[in-house]
Structure formats: C-alpha cells, structure tokens
Structure 1
Amino acid sequence: MISFGIATKISILLLLICVASVLCVLSLPVFESISSACKGIEDCDPFLPVCAAHTNEHQFFYSHCDMLREICMTGKDWKTDYLSHCNVSKL
C-alpha cells in the first residue's frame, strides 16, 4: 500500500509539471506582447491623443503613453483607430 501511494503521488506530480509546462508555452506570446508594450512606455509620446480599438471596443486615450499603460496593465491589444470611432476631431 505504501508503494502505491508513493507511485500515485509521483504520477500526480509529473502530471502537474506537464500541465504547467504546456500552460507556460501557450501563454508565452501573450507575455511577449504585454512586455513589449510595457517597455514602450519609456519612449511614448505623452502629448499625442489616441483613439484605439480592441475587438468591438473603442477607447479615447489622452496620450499614447496612456494607451501603452492600459495595454501593459490589462493585456488588451489596443490598436490605433485614427480617431474614427471616438467622436473627436484631429487637432
């Protein structure tokens, strides 16, 4: 009985390691895009207003830095929408 318990624990441990490694590989591109947005905050334009779209959402950001900060914090992939859906005119 004791050897069966140890074998079961080892099997469960190996299964958890396999699942964790698969999850890490699947989520790697998400972390790469988030980290690039976080690194981009250093070089952003704090005075450039941006209208952005993410799937069916549209958002006005007061600056390019605000959009990059939002991407960094939430992981949403906002893309510049050139002020077409934000109901504002270009300055």
Structure 2
Amino acid sequence: MKTSVYPLPLDAVLAREVAKAAKASGLSRAELMRQAIAFGLPTVVKALGKPLRRITTVNPLTPRQARALYQQDDDDRREVSQLMAAQRFEVAD
C-alpha cells in the first residue's frame, strides 16, 4: 500500500482527546486517526457534500446557440483592464 504523510494541525483540546482515545483503544495516535477518517469519511461526505443537481434555473444553451456565441470574437482586454484599474489599492506601510 502506497502511503503519504499529511500534517494535520490539531488544537490542544482535540489533541488531548485523540491521545486519550488512542490510549483507551490501544492504538497509536496515527492508527487511531486513520481509523477515524476511514469510519467517519462517508458520514462527513453525506452531511457536508453538495447535492448532485442543477443549481440554476437557466436552461443550457442549445448546440446552435453555443456555436453562434463561441464563433464571436472574444476580445475583452479593455473591459478587464478597466475592472482591474477600478480595484487597485495601495498597501499601507
């Protein structure tokens, strides 16, 4: 099994909880973390994952509309430069 090291910063309270759980289970902290991720990952994905559905009410372009739009010249350098100039700011020392 190929492995990779992932540094995981923990606050002091969570680090103590991990250490206590490792001692109670007889596992190393690293193995406890691997098991926690393996057991908890599906639950986290289910709870926090984005639903696989359309997030807009705008209908997609038809192939004919898409071809017509993408054949147009798309030179927007002037507009982009104006937007960038409007967002300039100076960093105070």
Q: TM-score, normalised by structure 2?
A: 0.25
- The higher radius of gyration belongs to 2
- Which structure dedicates a bigger proportion of its chain to strand? 1
